[in-house]
A and B are shown apart, each in its own frame.
Chain A
Amino acid sequence: MVLEVKNLSFSIGKRQLFDNINFKLTKGLTLLKGESGSGKTTLLRIINRLIKPEEGNIFFSGSDISAVDEFIWRSVCMMMKQKGFYIAETPLETLMLPFEFKNNRKKNFDAKEVYYLLSLFGLRREILYDKASNLSGGELQRIAFIRLLILKPDVALFDEPVSAVDNKTAGNMLGFLKEYCNDRICLITSHDPVAYSFADRIIELKNGKVVDG
């Protein structure tokens, strides 16, 4: 399983954000670092196909992802955004909703796995039945994190997934993620130094290029 970005270029207005970048991602946890505004989120969005690149291609296990329906691609390659999560009435409904999507119907919702992850990330089991609108930013971030984990995509992208939690919880989340990514390609952005020690590989966005960090 390899995700390969080839000759990718992208600009916002007159600013060239990516200038012919090339890199490969294999199984494991890769951390993408870079200064604020360097284009980390944009790169994740391009890989997730929320944005079209100006030039270049992305290949997954040898096939150009642009040849696949974008909605189907996003069931293979999922992304946890930094903010703006969809919340249903309760966290339980929020977690279960993606399993109702046509592209995810073959996946099974495992309640035991959810209970385990909740306790690992410092959340009460009862939170599942609380009003989702009452959740704090940190709680919401952990629910969104769990939601992606239990969907088990082949490629998992995480944009600043531990920005709203304390160091201990962040350590637990990243520790689990490191194990979880043994079977899949994971790309994570984080400004938190705690994340660096969990990454199998670090790459950096610098002056529009991707270099090994």
Chain B
Amino acid sequence: MVKNISIYGLVLAYLLLFVLIAVSFKEKLKLEKDVVVSFGRMSLQLFLAGFVLLWLFRVDKFYLNVVVLVGMVFFATRIVLKRANISYTGIAKYIFLSILVSSLSVLSIVVFGIVGLSYPRASYLIPLAGMIIGNSMNSTAIGIERFFSTLNNSKEMVEDLLCLGAMSEEAVDFVKQASLKASILPTLTSSSGMGVVFLPGMMTGQVLSGVNPENAVKYQIAIVIAISVAVCLTNYIMLKILSKKSINFLFDRGYIKI
């Protein structure tokens, strides 16, 4: 059984934040307020998440788990749009659907196939979904930002291909390829550093809570593969849809600035 962190231990953890505040103060970064607000917010969110998880695990109703998963994808979509600095019109549904379809398909294989559960218990489903959807969200933000910024910088080249008979999907294919690569690379880089450069969070958590390291490693391998596939699928679907949308659609809505 994992040893509990006492209230003094937690206070010590918070005291460590003074290092951050001190560096910010000394270097005049003016981040002191942000540090307090961010970590205050994080603590509140995590405590709330702890209570919600406890409740969800206890109730463990299938429909409730589905609602939570869809809600997670909804918030992930909002965060992607905010981070990639894109307006909501018309594009949010493609991001939402891409994350939903790919994450849930991969999650189903992990839960029913790899872990081998006959019923998707909330205590498995929600933490695994969090990791898969969270990583899909991060990569989608990179993919979508890269897609529109490359498109903006390569308008002339896209137009050149249109002049030679390309359909819109064909004219932006090179943009799609570059964006897909950019969105997948961080996951590959982090996978290759695992076990040597750092121990991943899930594995560390499992080992700390007394799980046999061999089993923790198997879980970690499965989840990293699942994350990589979900990341790739999400971005592939999303960029495929965006490429298929007529160039006019992108121009009309101001996604490409003339």
Chain A, range 149-172, C-beta contacts under 8 Å to B: 151, 153
Chain B, range 146-163, C-beta contacts under 8 Å to A: 155-163
B68 close to A (CB within 8 Å) = no
B191 close to A (CB within 8 Å) = no
A48–B160 contact, CB under 8 A?
no
Whether A103 touches B156, Cβ cut-off 8 Å, given contacts A74-B162, A98-B161, is no
Q: For chain A, give the interface size range.
A: 20 to 34
Please, which residues of chain B bring their CB within 8 A of the CB of A101? 161, 164-167, 170
B135 close to A (CB within 8 Å) = no
A79–B163 contact, CB under 8 A?
yes
> Complex Cα distance A71/B172, Å?
14
B138 close to A (CB within 8 Å) = no
Give the distance to chain B from A139, nearest Cβ to Cβ, in Å.
Answer: 16
Chain A, range 59-80, C-beta contacts under 8 Å to B: 71-72, 74-75, 78-80
Selecting from A82-90, A123-131, A179-187, the interface stretch reads A82-90
Please, which residues of chain A bring their CB within 8 A of the CB of B158? 86
Give the distance to chain B from A31, nearest Cβ to Cβ, in Å.
Answer: 19
> Complex Cα distance A104/B162, Å?
12
A86–B170 contact, CB under 8 A?
no
> Complex Cα distance A158/B157, Å?
16
B168–A71 contact, CB under 8 A?
yes
Please, which residues of chain A bring their CB within 8 A of the CB of B155? 84
Please, which residues of chain B bring their CB within 8 A of the CB of A84? 155-157, 159-160
The 0/1 profile, CB within 8 Å of B marked 1, for residues 87-101 of chain A is 110000000011011
Q: For chain B, give the interface size range.
A: 10 to 19
Residue on B nearest A73 in the bound complex, by CB = B165
B74 close to A (CB within 8 Å) = no
Whether A71 touches B165, Cβ cut-off 8 Å, given contacts A81-B160, A85-B160, A86-B157, is yes
Residue on B nearest A75 in the bound complex, by CB = B165
> Complex Cα distance A100/B171, Å?
11
Give the distance to chain B from A151, nearest Cβ to Cβ, in Å.
Answer: 6
B255 close to A (CB within 8 Å) = no
Residue on B nearest A49 in the bound complex, by CB = B162
> Complex Cα distance A83/B184, Å?
32
Whether A85 touches B157, Cβ cut-off 8 Å, given contacts A101-B170, A102-B170, is yes
A74–B160 contact, CB under 8 A?
no
Please, which residues of chain B bring their CB within 8 A of the CB of A210? none
B162–A98 contact, CB under 8 A?
no
The 0/1 profile, CB within 8 Å of B marked 1, for residues 39-55 of chain A is 00000000010100000
> Complex Cα distance A100/B164, Å?
11
> Complex Cα distance A81/B161, Å?
10
Please, which residues of chain B bring their CB within 8 A of the CB of A75? 164-165
**Of B160, B165, B168, which is within 8 A of A86 by CB?**
B160
A147 close to B (CB within 8 Å) = yes
B174 close to A (CB within 8 Å) = yes
Residue on B nearest A147 in the bound complex, by CB = B164
> Complex Cα distance A102/B166, Å?
7
Whether A48 touches B163, Cβ cut-off 8 Å, given contacts A86-B157, A101-B170, A102-B170, is yes
Whether A78 touches B163, Cβ cut-off 8 Å, given contacts A84-B156, A84-B157, A86-B174, is yes
The 0/1 profile, CB within 8 Å of B marked 1, for residues 133-157 of chain A is 0000000000010011001010000
Chain B, range 109-157, C-beta contacts under 8 Å to A: 155-157
Instruction: Beyond the given A98-B164, A98-B166, A103-B167, please list 10 additional residue pairs across the A-B interface where CB-CB is below 8 A.
Output: A48-B163, A71-B167, A74-B165, A78-B163, A81-B156, A81-B159, A81-B163, A84-B157, A100-B170, A101-B167
Interface residues of A (CB under 8 A from B): 48, 50, 71-72, 74-75, 78-81, 83-88, 97-98, 100-104, 144, 147-148, 151, 153
The 6 closest A-B pairs by CB, nearest first: A84-B156, A75-B165, A86-B157, A79-B163, A103-B165, A98-B164
